[in-house]
Amino acid sequence: MEFNEQIEKEFLAIHNKLKNAIENMDDGRDLTLTDIREIEKAMHYIRHIFDFKPPREDSSYYCDYVLGKDGK
């Protein structure tokens, strides 16, 4: 899969938001609601780009996702 410059920039932004959240947790052992929101947005974007799915439709909320083609 080849990424265009826009997708690379979006992944860079996601990386930096996740890095900032980790730094906040590490520095003060603190996690803000903004950090949680940014992590959720990053997960949603990555899940959408790569078509990650729960293993089955009836899977638990806490299950690990799989590649979309394997989640039938």
Percent of all residues in the chain with a pLDDT value above 90, rounded to a whole number: 0
One-letter amino acid for residue 49 of the chain = I
Are 52 and 63 in contact by the 8 Å Cβ rule? The answer is no
Per-residue pLDDT tens over the stretch 34-69 = 888 888 888 888 888 888 888 877 777 678 888 877
Indicate the length of the chain as a whole number.
Answer: 72
| pLDDT at residue number 71 | 54
pLDDT-derived band at 5, boundaries 50, 70, 90: confident
